[in-house]
């Protein structure tokens, strides 16, 4: 899976999971809240019904000989059907008054329209209300084949704690279920819309980030392949985010590498030319020394004709002295070239140190950006906590609005204005809750994007560490070159010393040759001594040739090391 797909998957899966969990939890809480508010309203209504019978009607509850329930001598509760019918008409709730556990007054009717007078409440209700004096409420009670939400409140005899009956209030389950289902569907559509909106925004943002990263990664790939003529597009350089910083760092890195590589190439070419000249000079001197060695051997085998050939030998030794003098001059020149190469190598090492320091500055800048992104994540967390507080306030406002609606319904015609206000408050609560959810979702997305940015920075740091390792390896190669140059300079100094000694021997040899006619035996010994010295010089010249070849090989290695770069 490509990076874009992974980022989208990582971004959307938690969002979808969060939306699903939020839908399930909110749906359950909405249902429970509606039921709880329904119970509160039903309790208030039962108390209101009880107050209707007791207010203005003094006297105790009693049943007359006809079986009608009275409150004092003024109110026949059994005949007050208009009260319960009016409540049912205005609220949609059925009302029943019990004397003991028997229905005396009710708005409940069967399919034929007959009121359910004389029927009794269940044992569970009677035990809870009549015996314990506690209200009873349930959301799933079967009444005449219909599921009801019910609430029972005890009725006390006036002036005592004796429970003489109950007031029942019930509403069909399907009415409340319709409200709950409507709220659930609204929540589902809101969450779905948020998920789709966030998905579109995430897709666009991720696409932009991935395209920019691909461009920068392509430029880094070109740098790793040795192409230093990379060009970062203007759009990337004008960006003010971390991707723009990476693009600008790539430009700086390319410029540093190009300057360093060009310097190395130029100086390696000069080093190669100087080493070739020194190698040719060493070969020339070696050939001359071979001739000198051969001449000395001929002189050793022809001592009887030494006197006649003294003049020729003197001339040969003079020529040898001139060649040695030329050799010394060439050695001095080569020594100067070696010192120049050494200085060039030291300059190259300095350039590598500068480049290494620049890489360190780039790494520090990226680390600083990573810390700034983490601080942004902490701010996002604090904003998320504020959004949660707004959500809780909106939920409480919604509950207050629902309670106000119930009170307005109970107030009838006088509560219509209050109901309009309650509805506006409820709409405002829902809008606040929706806005808080959108803010929380956007903050979560921002937090995840910041985490991905930090991860991308860590990967860039790894790439920079690899570049630093390459620079260190280049420095090690230059150190090897410097070491070879130091060895060459040391060899040149040895050659200079031995050349001076050879010049002294040449002077002695001239003197010996001039007296060769009278000193044949001494001349023979001197010739043997010259042969030994020639062997030493010949060996030293062989070392010079080897050092020249080694220096040439080091120059070639240095060229190959930087050949991978294209400037």
**Mean pLDDT across 320-324:** 67
The pLDDT tens digits of the residues spanning 1-18 come to 566 677 767 777 877 887
Residue 321 has pLDDT above 80, yes or no: no
CB atoms within 10 A of CB 478: 19
Q: Is-same-fold flag (3-196; 225-292+347-563)?
A: no
Would you identify the CATH topology of the domain 225-292+347-563? Helix Hairpins (1.10.287)
Percent of the chain topping pLDDT 70: 66
**pLDDT over threshold 80, residue 91:** yes
pLDDT > 70? residue 57? yes
What's the pLDDT at 316? 67
Taking residues 80-85, what's their average pLDDT? 88
User: If you average pLDDT over residues 310-319, what whole number do you get?
Assistant: 67
Of 496, 511, 514, 552, which is closest to residue 331 (Cα–Cα)? Answer: 496
Residue 411's pLDDT band (boundaries 50, 70, 90)? Answer: confident
Q: Is the pLDDT of residue 19 over 60?
A: yes
Residue 156: the pLDDT is 92
68 against 326, higher pLDDT: 68
- Phi then psi for residue 67, to 5 deg, are 90, 10
Q: What is the pLDDT of residues 128-184, one digit of tens each?
A: 999 999 999 998 888 877 888 999 999 998 888 899 999 999 988 887 777 778 877
User: Hey, CA dihedral for 519, 525, 528, 533, is it positive or negative?
Assistant: negative
pLDDT tens for 507-565 read 776 676 666 656 656 666 666 776 676 677 667 666 766 776 776 677 677 666 656 55
| CATH class of this structure's domain 3-196 | alpha beta
* 105 beta partners: 97
- Segments making up each domain of the chain, as ranges: 3-196, 225-292+347-563
pTM for the model:
0.37
Q: Is the dihedral of CA 553, 558, 564, 566 positive or negative?
A: negative
Average pLDDT value over all residues in the chain: 75
Would you call 518 exposed, middle or buried from its count of C-beta atoms within 10 A (0-12, 13-18, 19+)? exposed
């Amino acid at each position: 899976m490509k990076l874009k797909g992974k980022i989208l998957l990582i971004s959307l899966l938690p969002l979808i999971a969060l939306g699903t969990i939020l839908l399930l939890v909110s749906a359950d809480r909405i249902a429970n809240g509606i039921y709880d508010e329904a119970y509160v309203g039903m309790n208030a209504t039962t108390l209101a019904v009880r107050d209707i019978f007791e207010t203005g009607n003094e006297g105790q509850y009693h049943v007359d000989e006809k079986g009608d329930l009275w409150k004092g001598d003024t109110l026949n509760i059994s005949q007050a059907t208009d009260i319960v019918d009016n409540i049912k008409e205005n609220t949609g709730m059925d009302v029943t008054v019990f004397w003991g556990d028997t229905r005396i007054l009710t708005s409940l009717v069967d399919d034929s329209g007959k009121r359910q007078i004389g029927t009794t409440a269940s044992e569970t209700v009677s035990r809870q209300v009549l015996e314990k004096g506690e209200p009873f409420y349930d959301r799933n009670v079967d009444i005449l084949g219909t599921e009801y939400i019910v609430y029972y409140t005890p009725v006390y005899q006036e002036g005592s704690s004796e429970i003489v009956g109950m007031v029942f209030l019930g509403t069909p389950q399907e009415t409340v279920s319709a409200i709950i289902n409507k709220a659930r569907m609204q929540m589902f559509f809101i969450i779905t819309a948020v998920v789709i909106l966030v998905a579109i925004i995430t897709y666009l943002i991720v696409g932009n980030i991935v395209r920019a990263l691909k461009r920068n990664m392509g430029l880094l790939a070109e740098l790793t392949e040795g192409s230093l003529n990379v060009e970062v597009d203007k759009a990337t350089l004008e960006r003010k985010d971390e991707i723009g910083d990476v693009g600008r760092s790539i430009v700086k890195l390319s410029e540093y590498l190009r300057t360093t590589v060009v310097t190395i190439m130029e100086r390696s070419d000069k080093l190669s030319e100087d080493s070739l000249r020194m190698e040719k000079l060493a070969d020339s001197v070696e050939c001359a020394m071979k001739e000198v060695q051969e001449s000395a051997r001929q002189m050793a085998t022809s001592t009887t004709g030494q006197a006649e050939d003294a003049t020729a030998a003197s001339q040969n030794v003079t020529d040898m002295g001139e060649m040695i003098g030329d050799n010394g001059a060439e050695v001095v020149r080569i020594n100067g070239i070696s010192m120049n190469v050494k200085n060039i190598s030291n300059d190259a090492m300095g350039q590598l140190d500068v480049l290494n320091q620049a890489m360190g500055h780039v790494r520090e800048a990226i680390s600083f950006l990573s810390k700034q992104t983490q601080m942004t994540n902490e701010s996002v967390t604090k904003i998320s906590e504020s959004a949660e507080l707004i959500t809780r306030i909106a939920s409480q406002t919604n509950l207050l609005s629902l309670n106000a609606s119930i009170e307005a319904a109970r107030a009838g015609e006088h509560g219509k204005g209050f109901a309009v206000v309650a509805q506006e408050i409820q709409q405002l609560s829902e809008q606040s809750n929706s806005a808080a959810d959108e803010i929380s979702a956007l903050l979560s997305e921002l937090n995840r994007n910041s985490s991905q940015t930090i991860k991308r920075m860590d990967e860039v740091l790894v790439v920079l560490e690899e570049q630093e390792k390459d620079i260190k390896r280049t420095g090690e190669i230059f150190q090897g070159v410097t070491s070879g140059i130091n060895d060459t300079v040391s060899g040149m100094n040895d050659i200079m010393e031995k050349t001076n000694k050879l010049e002294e021997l040449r002077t002695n040899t001239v003197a010996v040759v001039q007296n060769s006619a009278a000193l044949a035996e001494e001349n023979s010994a001197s010739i043997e001594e010259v042969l030994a010295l020639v062997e030493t010089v010949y060996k030293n010249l062989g070392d010079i040739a080897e050092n020249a070849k080694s220096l040439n090989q080091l120059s070639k290695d240095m060229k190959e090391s930087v050949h991978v770069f294209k400037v």
